Amino acid sequence: MAVGNRRDPYRVYNFRVEIDGIDRGGFRECTGLDSTQEPTEYREGTDRAITVRKLSGLVKYSNISLKWGLSDDTDLWAWISSSTEGNTERRNGSIVLMNDRGEETARWNFR
């Protein structure tokens, strides 16, 4: 049942960005939400086996890239502008994947 005219300019922007718990904008495309962990091969000198053990190595995270965004938040633009000038200020945030009904389906937190 429709209650009124819905005005949602972020509807096709399925990736919502929250920084410090505040919605900052919507984006159509997001990449870099992955990590890799390369194994470290290890063999003891007293080990009679000819096989190499594989231990967990360092975890590496990709750079997050957001494309085709829309925002009316001037604080987000000021933060991006200051980082291009060398004044990097780290913040915590989340990237939230929304479905067609505007409900949260997945969340990736970054620190």
Measured CA to CA in angstroms, residue 11 lies from 6, 25, 69, 84, 103 at distances of 10, 11, 12, 29, 11
Q: Identify the pLDDT of residue 96.
A: 92
φ and ψ at residue 19, rounded to 5 degrees: -125, 125
d(CA 64, CA 72): 21
Per-residue pLDDT, averaged over 39-55, amounts to 81
pLDDT of residue 45 exceeding 80, the answer is no
Is the pTM for the entire model greater than 0.95?
no
pLDDT category at 58 given cuts 50, 70, 90 is very high
pLDDT of residue 11: 63
Q: What is the pLDDT of residue 81?
A: 85
Q: How far, in Å, CA of 62 to CA of 69, rounded?
A: 20
Residue pair 66/47 in contact (Cβ under 8 Å)? The answer is no
pLDDT in tens, 15-28: 888 888 888 888 88
Over residues 72-107, the pLDDT tens digits come to: 878 888 888 888 888 888 888 899 998 878 788 999
